[in-house]
């Protein structure tokens, strides 16, 4: 798949300073920016961004959220389990980056298992995947057209699952046992999804579901529980 253009409606935007990935999804009603650490001036479609969704509340995934909400009046969504982390500069790792910041309240706090209509065709399914932080979430982008079966388009995994590894668990609210359970859940989910489905991580490259299922990441995961 392309390095940046993942699907006609989904593009990866690398964030150079913090080495993270943002993703921009085009919908009928405007664009959605996942993990808004990248500032508006780095996004050609900036004027079209109407919604910000964070996989978790670490600085390298939400650093520019205030710029976006003030510039575009964009709404901000994150897991309901990340409330405390957003407001704590040590917990959200902004202090570690030398940019101690307390972030604003979200406009919507997401729950596990929600199915959200984004426009007349696109939907978003939420999955709680604690481990990197207690409120880490993954998002499955789906399309449902009239007379056609529901189609999975991409899975956004944040820092829970990378193209060859998984997120660290030694930061505030991280938990190795929870990460192990989340990875086992994601492995089962990937087995149910098309092998060609793009898996869009918070750092590094984009892999397909099939590539990830055949990667050593699951062997590495056993170290989380002493395997």
Give the residue-averaged pLDDT of 200-212: 96
What is the structure's pLDDT at 15?
83
Say whether 90 sits in a helix, a strand or coil: coil
Q: Which of 27, 211, 16, 50 is nearest to 117 (CA)?
A: 27
Give the residue-averaged pLDDT of 201-206: 95
Query: Which DSSP state fits 102?
Result: -
pLDDT beyond 60 at 1: no
Phi-psi region of 33 (alpha: psi -120 to 50; beta: other; left: phi over 0): beta
Q: Residue 227 — very low, low, confident or very high, per pLDDT cuts 50/70/90?
A: low
- CATH code linked to domain 5-225: 3.60.15.10
Distance CA 130, CA 90 (A): 19
pTM for the whole thing? 0.96
Say whether 179 sits in a helix, a strand or coil: helix
Give the residue-averaged pLDDT of 87-98: 90
**Between these two residues, 113 and 96, which has the higher pLDDT value?**
113
Residues 42 and 25 sit within 8 Å (Cβ to Cβ) = no
Residue 17's CB is within 10 A of a number of other CB atoms, namely 13
Phi-psi region of 123 (alpha: psi -120 to 50; beta: other; left: phi over 0): beta
Average pLDDT, the chain: 94
pLDDT tens-place string over residues 123-180: 999 999 999 999 999 999 999 988 788 999 999 999 999 999 999 999 999 999 999 9
């Amino acid at each position: 798949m392309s390095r940046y253009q993942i699907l006609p409606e989904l593009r990866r935007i690398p964030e150079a300073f913090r080495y993270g990935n943002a993703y921009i999804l085009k919908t009928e009603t405007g664009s959605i920016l996942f993990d808004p650490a990248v500032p508006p001036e780095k996004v050609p479609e900036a004027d079209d961004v109407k919604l910000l969704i964070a996989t978790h509340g670490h600085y390298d995934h939400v650093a520019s959220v205030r710029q976006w909400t003030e510039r575009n009046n964009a709404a901000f969504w994150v897991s309901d389990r990340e409330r405390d982390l957003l407001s704590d500069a040590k917990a959200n790792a902004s202090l570690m980056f030398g940019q101690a910041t307390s972030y604003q309240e979200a406009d919507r706090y997401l729950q596990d298992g929600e199915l959200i209509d984004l426009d007349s065709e696109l939907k978003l399914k939420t999955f709680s995947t604690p481990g990197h932080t207690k409120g880490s979430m993954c998002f499955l982008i789906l399309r449902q057209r009239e007379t056609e079966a529901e189609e999975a388009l991409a899975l956004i995994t944040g820092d829970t699952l990378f193209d060859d590894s998984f997120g660290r668990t030694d930061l505030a609210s991280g938990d190795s046992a929870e990460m192990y359970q989340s990875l086992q859940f994601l492995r089962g989910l990937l087995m149910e999804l098309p092998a060609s489905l793009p898996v869009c991580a918070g750092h590094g490259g984009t892999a397909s579901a099939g590539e990830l299922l055949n990667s050593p990441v699951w062997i590495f995961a056993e170290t989380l529980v002493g395997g």
